[in-house]
Amino acid sequence: FSHVCEHMIWIGNTANKKDDDKYPQTKELMKQWDAAVKRMIEAEPTLRDMMTFIEVRRAALRWPHVDHIHLDEAWYKKLGNELLIPLIR
């Protein structure tokens, strides 16, 4: 294969500021999903060697949201510019 990634970055789930019965995403469920992904990565040597998990859930609790789970545009720009771009350079 050509143009195959040697390393992937898995960005964890953001977190809602408060739980709301209208939405299935809860703080606890987001935490459980992230833990399940981390366990999957750690359990599989091939994944462990080629993947980095970045936890963002706790930081997302303090950031402005545009809806129940999604953060504002500044979050995604900051994440890309300050965290992801330096990793790929």
Joined tokens for residue 27: 């703080």
pLDDT tens digits, 6-48 = 888 899 999 888 888 888 889 899 999 999 999 999 999 989 9
pLDDT (mean) for 62-73 = 90
Look up residue 64 and give its DSSP letter.
Answer: -
- What is the spatial distance between Cα 37 and Cα 40, in angstroms, rounded to a whole number? 5
Look up residue 70 and give its DSSP letter.
Answer: P
Task: State if pTM tops 0.85.
Answer: no
3-class secondary structure, 37 = helix
Give residue 62's pLDDT.
Answer: 87
| Residue 84 and residue 9 in contact, taking contact as beta carbons nearer than 8 Å | yes
Nearest to 63 by CA among 51, 49, 50, 77: 77
